[in-house]
C-alpha cells in the first residue's frame, strides 16, 4: 500500500467494485459488502449463542446474554419505562457500529464506519426517529422546548436560534465523532506501517530501527479496540439520551 | 467472576440434571463467602460509570465544533437565500458558537461522573 518514498494514508478508504463482474454491474463496493458481513456476524452471534438455551450458559451464550443485558439496561435506565420499545433500535445500532469498527481492524478488510456518508445516514436515522417520537409523545408542545422555561421574553430572539442550532447540531456531532475517530485511527495505523517499510529500506541499521513503528502499531491496535467499542457505546448512549428527551413530559 | 468461569468450564464436560444440581450446590457453597463483596465490586453501575467518563471526554470536543459548523452552514445558506451576504453568516456563526457552549454545558451538567 505504501510506496517507496510516500505514504498513501488515504488510499485505504477508496471504494472499489468487489465480486468481479457482478459487483461492477451492481456498483457493489467493499462498503456494502462489509455492512452485509457485519449484519450476518451479529445475527450469527445471537443465533449460535442462544441456540443451546442452557440454564448455565456456555461462553458464547454468556457473551450473547451479556450483550443483550448491557443494551437492555442502557435503554431502560436512560430512556425510562418506555425504553423497552426502543431497545431493538438501540441494540441494532450498537452492534452494527461495533461490528463495523471491529471488522475494520481485520487486515485486508474495510471500515465502513470511516466513511462520513455512512455515519451521517445512521445519525440522521437516529435524529428522525427522535423527532417522530417526540412529535408522537408531545405533539405541538415539542416546539415549546426551543424557548427555555423561565427565560425573559425579550431574550427570545437570541435564545431561540441558539436552541435550534443546538438541536440541529446533534446529527452533525454524532456522525463527525464516529467518522473522525475511525478514520484517524486507521490513518495512524497506515502511517506507522509506512514508516516501517521506509526504515527497513535504510541500509544497515534500518531493519533494527523499523521495529519501533511495529511496536507502536501493536499499541495502536489495542487503542483501536478500545476506541471501537467506545464509539459504538457513545453513539448508542446518545441515541438513548435523545430518545429520553423525546418521550419525556 | 472467577467462580462463574469455573461453572462455564464444567458445564461443557458433563451434562444432565443430576450433575447440574450437584454443581449448583457446589457453586452456591463457593459463592456464599464472597457474594456480597463481589456484587458490590462488579455491579453494572460501576462499569457504566467508567465507560461514560471516557465517553464524555470523547463527546465534548465534537459537540462544540458541530454546533459551530451548523451555525456557519445555516448562516451561509440563509444569506444566499435572502441575498444579505455577510450579515446572517456573521450572526449565525456567533449563535453557533454559543450553542456549542450550550451543548458542552448540558453534556457536563447531566453527567453523573
Could you read off the pLDDT of A92-151 as tens digits, one per residue? 999 999 999 999 888 888 888 888 899 999 999 999 999 998 888 887 777 877 877 777
Shortest Cα–Cα distance, A235 to chain B (Å):
9
| Domain presence at residue A98 | yes
Which has the closest alpha carbon to A214: A190, A196, A197, A194? A196
pLDDT of B39 reads 42
pLDDT of A98 reads 93
Identify any residues that bridge with A17 across adjacent strands, giving them in sequence order.
A29
Length of chain A: 249
Would you call B35 an interface residue with chain A, using a CB distance cutoff of 8 Å? no
Judged by average pLDDT, the poorest of A71-85, A202-216, B45-59 is B45-59
CB within 8 Å: A234 and B58? yes
Q: Do residues A129 and A243 touch, judged by C-beta distance below 8 A?
A: yes
Smallest Cβ–Cβ distance between B67 and the set A56, A165, A241 belongs to A165
pLDDT of B7 reads 47
- The number of domains in chain A is 1
- Its domain, for residue A226, covers 14-128+173-242
CB within 8 Å: B8 and A58? yes
Is the pLDDT higher at A175 or at A141?
A175
Shortest Cα–Cα distance, B98 to chain A (Å):
7
Would you call A177 an interface residue with chain B, using a CB distance cutoff of 8 Å? yes
Q: Is the ipTM of this complex over 0.90?
A: no
Q: Measured over all CA atoms, what is the biggest interatomic distance in chain A, rounded to whole angstroms?
A: 75
| Domain presence at residue A155 | no
Report the pLDDT averaged over residues A29-35: 86
Q: Which residues contact B5 (CB under 8 A, 6 or more apart)?
A: none
Which has the closest alpha carbon to A46: A64, A30, A32? A64
Is the pLDDT higher at B32 or at A173?
A173
Which helix or strand (DSSP H or E) is residue A149 part of? none
CB within 8 Å: B51 and A74? no
The three three-digit cell numbers of residue B100, written as one number: 456549542
Residues in A closer than 8 angstroms to B102, CB to CB, are 162-163, 166
Q: Name the H helices within chain A.
A: 20-26, 30-50, 59-79, 83-103, 116-138, 156-200, 206-209, 211-247
Question: Which of helix, strand or coil describes residue A227?
Answer: helix
> DSSP string covering chain B, please?
-HHHHHHHHHHHH--SHHHHHHHHHHHHHHHHTTHHHHHHHS-HHHHHHHHHHHHHHHHHHHHHHHHHHHHHHHHHHHHHHHT-HHHHHHHHHHHHHHHHHHHHHHHHHH---
Would you call B19 an interface residue with chain A, using a CB distance cutoff of 8 Å? no
Please tell me the distance from the alpha carbon of residue B75 to that of residue B85, in angstroms, as a whole number: 9
pLDDT of B48 reads 52
| Domain presence at residue A133 | no
Residues in B closer than 8 angstroms to A57, CB to CB, are 8, 11
Per residue in A47-92, pLDDT (tens digit) is 988 888 777 778 888 888 888 988 888 888 888 887 788 889 999 9
The three three-digit cell numbers of residue A133, written as one number: 417520537
Neighbours of A213 (CB within 10 A): 20
Which has the closest alpha carbon to B99: A244, A78, B107? B107
Q: Do residues B55 and B103 touch, judged by C-beta distance below 8 A?
A: no
The three three-digit cell numbers of residue A62, written as one number: 454468556
| Domain presence at residue A49 | yes
| Domain presence at residue A194 | yes
Would you call B20 an interface residue with chain A, using a CB distance cutoff of 8 Å? yes
| Domain presence at residue A144 | no
Amino acid at each position: 500500500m505504501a510506496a517507496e518514498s510516500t505514504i498513501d494514508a488515504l488510499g485505504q478508504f477508496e471504494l472499489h467494485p468487489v465480486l468481479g463482474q457482478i459487483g461492477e454491474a451492481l456498483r457493489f463496493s467493499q462498503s456494502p459488502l462489509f455492512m452485509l458481513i457485519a449484519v450476518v456476524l451479529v445475527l450469527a452471534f445471537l443465533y449460535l449463542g442462544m441456540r443451546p438455551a442452557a440454564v448455565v450458559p456456555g461462553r458464547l451464550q454468556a457473551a450473547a446474554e451479556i450483550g443483550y443485558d448491557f443494551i437492555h439496561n442502557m435503554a431502560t435506565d436512560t430512556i425510562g419505562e418506555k425504553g423497552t420499545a426502543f431497545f431493538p433500535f438501540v441494540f441494532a445500532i450498537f452492534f452494527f457500529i461495533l461490528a463495523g469498527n471491529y471488522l475494520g481492524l481485520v487486515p485486508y478488510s474495510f471500515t465502513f464506519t470511516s466513511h462520513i456518508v455512512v455515519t451521517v445516514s445512521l445519525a440522521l436515522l437516529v435524529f428522525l426517529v427522535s423527532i417522530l417520537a417526540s412529535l408522537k409523545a408531545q405533539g405541538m408542545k415539542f416546539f415549546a422546548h426551543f424557548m427555555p422555561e423561565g427565560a425573559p421574553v425579550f431574550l427570545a430572539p437570541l435564545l431561540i436560534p441558539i436552541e435550534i442550532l443546538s438541536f440541529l447540531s446533534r446529527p452533525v456531532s454524532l456522525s463527525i465523532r464516529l467518522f473522525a475517530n475511525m478514520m484517524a485511527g486507521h490513518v495512524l495505523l497506515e502511517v506507522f506501517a509506512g514508516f516501517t517499510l521506509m526504515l527497513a529500506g535504510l541500509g544497515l541499521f534500518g531493519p533494527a530501527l523499523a521495529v519501533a513503528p511495529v511496536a507502536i502499531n501493536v499499541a495502536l491496535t489495542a487503542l483501536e479496540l478500545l476506541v471501537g467499542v467506545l464509539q459504538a457505546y457513545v453513539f448508542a448512549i446518545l441515541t438513548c439520551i435523545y430518545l429520553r428527551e423525546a418521550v419525556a413530559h | 467472576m472467577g467462580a462463574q468461569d469455573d461453572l462455564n468450564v464444567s458445564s461443557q464436560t458433563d451434562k444432565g440434571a443430576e450433575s447440574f444440581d450437584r454443581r449448583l450446590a457446589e457453586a452456591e457453597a463457593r459463592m456464599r463467602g464472597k457474594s456480597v463483596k463481589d456484587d458490590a465490586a462488579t455491579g453494572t453501575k460501576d462499569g457504566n460509570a467508567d465507560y461514560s467518563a471516557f465517553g464524555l471526554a470523547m463527546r465534548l470536543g465534537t459537540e462544540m465544533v458541530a454546533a459551530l459548523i451548523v451555525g456557519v452552514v445555516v448562516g451561509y445558506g440563509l444569506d444566499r437565500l435572502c441575498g444579505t451576504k455577510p450579515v446572517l453568516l456573521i450572526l449565525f456563526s456567533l449563535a453557533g458558537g454559543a450553542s456549542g457552549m450550550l451543548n458542552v454545558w448540558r453534556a457536563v451538567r447531566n453527567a453523573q461522573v
